[in-house]
Amino acid sequence: MTIRTAICGLTLAAAALPLTLPLGSALAQDAAPTSELPEIAVGDSMPGSFFIAPEGEGPFPAIILLGGSEGGDRAARNLAPRFLAEGYAVFGMPYYSPAWADNPQQFPGLPRAFADIPVDRAETALQWLAERDDVRANDIGIYGVSKGAELALLAGSYIDGFAAIAAIVPSDVVWEGWGTGDGTRPSSFSWQGEPLPFVPYEGMGEEFANPTGPDGNPRIRLPHDKGRNANPDRVVKARIAVEQIDEPVLVAGGDADLVWNSGEMAQFIAERRAEAGLPTVSLIFTDAGHYLSGDGSRETGNPANGEAQKIIWPATLQFFERNLKD
């Protein structure tokens, strides 16, 4: 297996990252660990959001944690202890709370549908953190996974003030939303009340009705690929303006991703930022899939995911240390 790497305007220690190793755990599927550190509920304006500071004397650099399409706060709570152990304050920011199957909605104050999710919420989180005495206002980053990576990159393109952005299995465009129940085809995200241009899916219902993926599961990447191929004009309008993010960005993706083509989309992001001369770390794995947000310690069904995680996680820690701590 191989890994494609690009580091533009940024240097990683080669000894810490063996980039020629042969080469996933969806954190949201694991039981969320608990932290013994004091937790602060952010308030009614940010339902479900939480803040935890690490042990020691502040102020601390901080990282906003964004999960994916599973919704709720589980991904953020799985990630929080790992970043706290590295000396970062964490802000878990759920932004969508569906009611899957027989499970009730975790946070009734959040949208049930993934439709027109306000990117503005990230600005509220940034301002909330910047006003705290125990947070270093100039050292606030974002870590987003999957749809959370799409949101993280959008936040960086619209909002000034983030010091670094890590986007794991990202998208380079805004995609169609879902779940409204009224037959409309919404955007996934909005800015200042206006839906953002998006790329529509093609054949999502058919894929769920007649799954083509392994073990009878839907291959969700297929409706993404078909939608992108059929709508080049909408792709152009829906591109996330990553070339407008002045701050360093890390992207990591897999060419074997069956949810969406995160390897190719991470490559597109890296290329556009390289053309603009912007600092970017790009880690793309030919055989890895969608579950790349762990540390390699859990089984994901694809050994290449675990091997990729063992490179991505230390690279992510080094990326944030360089940009939030130095």
What CATH number corresponds to the domain at position 279?
A: 3.40.50.1820
H helix count then E strand count, the chain: 8, 12
Q: What is the predicted pLDDT for the residue at 326?
A: 80
pLDDT band at 19 (very low <50, low <70, confident <90, very high): very low
pTM of this prediction? 0.90
Is the pLDDT confidence value at 16 over 70? no
Q: Span 299-320, mean pLDDT?
A: 95
Is the pLDDT confidence value at 232 over 70? yes
Which residue would you say has higher pLDDT here, 301 or 219? 219
pLDDT in tens, 51-69: 999 999 999 999 999 999 9
Is the pLDDT confidence value at 287 over 90? yes
Domain count of the fold of the chain = 1
Q: How far is CA 291 from CA 235, 299, 323, in A?
A: 25, 10, 25
Q: What is the predicted pLDDT for the residue at 271?
A: 98
Question: What is the rounded CA–CA span in Å between residue 160 and residue 155?
Answer: 9
Is the pLDDT confidence value at 295 over 70? yes
- Beta carbons of 131 and 117 less than 8 angstroms apart: no
**Which residues, listed in sequence order, are joined to residue 4 by a DSSP beta bridge?**
284
Question: What is the rounded CA–CA span in Å between residue 314 and residue 292?
Answer: 12
CA atoms within 13 A on the CB side of 178: 12
Triad 155, 24, 264: Cα angle to 5°: 55
Q: Span 128-141, mean pLDDT?
A: 97
Is the pLDDT confidence value at 257 over 90? yes
Is the pLDDT confidence value at 240 over 80? yes
Q: What is the predicted pLDDT for the residue at 28?
A: 38
Which residue would you say has higher pLDDT here, 29 or 271? 271
Q: What is the predicted pLDDT for the residue at 17?
A: 29
Question: 74: domain range?
Answer: 3-325
* Residue 229: exposure state from Cβ atoms within 10 A (0-12, 13-18, ≥19): exposed
CA atoms within 13 A on the CB side of 315: 33
Helices (H), 73-210: 74-84, 120-130, 147-158, 204-209
Question: What is the rounded CA–CA span in Å between residue 130 and residue 127?
Answer: 5
Q: Span 78-99, mean pLDDT?
A: 96
Q: Span 138-145, mean pLDDT?
A: 98
